[in-house]
Structure 1
Amino acid sequence: MAEPLALYVHWPFCVSKCPYCDFNSHVRERVDQVAWRAALLADLRHEALLLPDRLVSSIFFGGGTPSLMPPATVAAVIAAAQEAWGLTDDCEITLEANPNSVEVANFAALASAGVNRVSIGVQSFDAQILEFLGRAHSGDEARRAIAAAQEHFARVSFDLIYARPGQALGQWEAELNEALAFGTGHLSLYQLTIEPGTRFATLAAKGDLLIPDGDTAADLFDATQAVTRAAGLPRYEVSNHAKPGEESRHNLTYWRYGDYAGIGPGAHGRRLAQATERHRKPENFISAVGRNGHGLKVEADLPAHERATEAMLMGLRLTEGVDLARVEARSGLGREAFVDEGAVERLSGQGLLVRNGDRLAVTDDGILLLDSILSEAVRTS
């Protein structure tokens, strides 16, 4: 039987748009919940017809704000995946949530629906920073949400954003230690980046928003590694930290270049050597499902070299590195087509890459230079 699939489900709606966010999220006064449930289920069934004889090893409800989904809709999607494919015995079912009290009130119902892992968008515990980031919750709400999640779900993760304007090293270390004190098995720790098309990008272009320079950001990153490693949550991917065995299985499917189906507005997928993308705007997605029985906008064959390149770019984000033999098997190409052996030898000599048999990994010293290492070591044409 083929490798299990990962299933991504996108819920596009939010209460408000955060100024740093470039995700496919939309604010709507009213959402027709019956129509949206039907559309997601139709989109799922279409993918299932194309991917028979597979099990699903993880389901990830992302957004937008999927904790605004009615728990009955979450349960219906999980049941449809079970019926269409079957779920592995240890299937990881994650839902992203905000710490707002209204959403936290749904935790018990979401757990009953089958969600066994929650990822909470905390971002900060500081009131001024939360206001700066456009978040609608308070620090105390975030603390209560984490505690409530630990009562209802077997596994809990939450996000923090650092390398913010004016952030001092000591401030970040204190905030990180507070986060680690909750004892969750996973943390996602992202440096603030200015994404095109966001309100922060507009402010930065005017000179009204200055994020830390490269050296300061590097110091914050290094401190993050030291503090999390000491607490037993080492980095396993550029921005993700976990106790051993608590890594996000769903995201590991992406980084290890496994097959995943993506349903819902703007969702991307990789399956059967094809790239898929759904219509982004909610109204266009709903119209497409009504017209075609699915929300697909793009379904394109991926050339072998593009698949190999994607696998390398994703896999080298992981501390474990990339399995070159797997990339060969998934792409049908010899590694000389996608690895610059001369660059690998040179970068290994500089302590930036390490090679162990078929496995190639970026070292701790190299991770801050990841983009340049990728541009040198991976053949993209």
Structure 2
Amino acid sequence: MPSALPIADPAPLDGILPERAGLGAGQRNLGVYLHVPYCRVRCGYCDFNTYTASELGGHKREDYAGQAVSELRFARGVLDASGVQERQASTVFFGGGTPTILPVADLAAMLAGVRDAIGVAPDAEITTEANPDSVDQRYLEGLSASGFTRVSFGMQSAMPHVLATLERTHDPARIPLVVGWAKQAGLEVSLDLIYNTPGESLDDWRRSLEHALAQEPDHLSAYSLIVEDGTKLARQIRKGQVAQPDDELAADQYELADALLSEAGYQWYEVSNWGRPDARGDHRSRHNLAYWQGHDWWGVGPGAHSHVGGVRWWNVKHPAAYADRVLAGLSPAAGRETLDDETRRIERVMLGTRVRDGLDTSELTAAGRRAVAGLIADGLVNAEAALRGRVVLTLRGRLLADAVVRALLD
């Protein structure tokens, strides 16, 4: 089942934000995240807030688009009443779950809701996640016609036995089909991969990377499998039914990914993400970069998280409870927290260190700045960038990013 919500302060039913949330809003981008909490089946490694048909308890998927639009209208009222400067959304991202389990008309209606309530910038990046077996050519054409600019396919692996361990349902042979259809529809394409799955060899991972690169996606993400407590996979590992992931193999797999992607012309811009620059741009995910750079976003839907000006909140998790709140004109937030200045600085260090542009050393304490020299000596931080006042990770530093952050914050 999905993980528990954080423990924090109660959220007001009117959703009104403290005055500090609006300070400097004009210098930050605003993104909108729409969470679609439905999946056909639950993958054994997943602890996201998703529900299969048997877990919905009377909630109907066909009603969800209207409920999401209701929250978008509520968001407009909250931002106005809280004195937060009006901004159009620079990015819109549909995640899940499986957003494309809904009819394309529902996704189009939610996107229209963003346009009506928040506004969408003319050059906005508008993305949906999709499973390879949840779309066909007509669906992808419908996304493009509705204003979507980008699709992110959950490929995960090209190896059937790896997909079986992850309990993914698609056939690897479908990847070239959906990528080709998306490109024909004029959509940018991202492929998501997972490495260090139990039973996956280095050669398996190489073959998955080669299969992904053969499709020439604009963007590629590669995430190391994390075994989350409470998942089916965690129980299988605990019982000895599935092997424990191997950290040393994971490092080898990451280095292989970076080598093959670099050779193919992709540039890393965040520890787990690469874009392929061309005449149309660098193809970084602008929406995800906004998270790492501390911009604002409103998260719509059950369990969705939001952040505006150092105020963070998260919605109730079950779709039925969410529907009750938004249809009553109340905030769906289950809790929220207001971050103090030091906590926000720590988060800027934690997130900024992960991106290729690096972290300005002005964000560090005196002790943190002194730690940079040792990190350079250990081959974890780029010396030339450090002389320019930026902390930029080397390849070895990316492998040990958490250790770098601890050293900078100690």
What TM-score does the superposition give when structure 1 sets the normalisation length? 0.91
Q: 3-state DSSP class of the match of 1:144?
A: helix
Q: 1:62-101 alignment to 2 at 5 Å?
A: 62-100=95-133
User: Are residues 1:267 and 2:288 paired?
Assistant: no
User: Are residues 1:364 and 2:401 paired?
Assistant: no
Amino acid of the residue matched to residue 174 of structure 1? Answer: R
User: Are residues 1:219 and 2:244 paired?
Assistant: no
Partner of 1:279: 316
Distance in 2 between the 1:166 and 1:36 partners? 38
Distance 1:53 1:324, change over 3 A: farther
Partner of 1:53: 86
Partner of 1:12: 37
User: Are residues 1:256 and 2:293 paired?
Assistant: yes
Q: 3-state DSSP class of the match of 2:90?
A: strand
Paired residue total: 370
Partner of 2:377: 349
Partner of 1:317: 354
Partner of 2:327: 290
CA contact (8 A) 2:133 2:174 kept: yes
Note the C-alpha offset of 1:5.
0.5
Aligned counterpart for 1:39 among listed residues 54, 67, 78: 67
Which moved further from structure 2: 4-13 or 83-92? Answer: 83-92
Aligned counterpart for 2:153 among listed residues 117, 120, 134: 120
Note the C-alpha offset of 1:249.
0.5
Q: Deviations over 1:134-166 (max 9, x none)?
A: 112111223322222222243001112222223
User: Are residues 1:182 and 2:215 paired?
Assistant: yes
Structure 2 unaligned regions, length at least 5: 1-25
Note the C-alpha offset of 1:129.
2.2
Note the C-alpha offset of 1:168.
2.6
Aligned counterpart for 1:21 among listed residues 40, 43, 46: 46
Distance in 2 between the 1:324 and 1:292 partners? 45
Q: 3-state DSSP class of the match of 2:216?
A: coil
Amino acid of the residue matched to residue 20 of structure 1? Answer: Y
Partner of 2:365: 336
Distance in 2 between the 1:350 and 1:139 partners? 40
What TM-score does the superposition give when structure 2 sets the normalisation length? 0.85
Distance in 1 between the 2:347 and 2:197 partners? 30
Note the C-alpha offset of 1:102.
5.0
Distance in 1 between the 2:139 and 2:343 partners? 42
Distance in 1 between the 2:300 and 2:136 partners? 23
Amino acid of the residue matched to residue 393 of structure 2? Answer: V
CA contact (8 A) 2:49 2:317 kept: yes
CA contact (8 A) 1:111 1:153 kept: yes
Structure 1 unaligned regions, length at least 5: 328-334
Which moved further from structure 2: 92-101 or 144-153? Answer: 144-153
CA contact (8 A) 1:166 1:211 kept: no
RMSD (CA atoms): 2.0
Q: Deviations over 1:79-106 (max 9, x none)?
A: 2222233222210000000111556642
CA contact (8 A) 1:265 1:278 kept: yes
Distance in 1 between the 2:158 and 2:137 partners? 17
Partner of 2:267: 234
Amino acid of the residue matched to residue 107 of structure 2? Answer: V
Distance in 1 between the 2:51 and 2:147 partners? 26
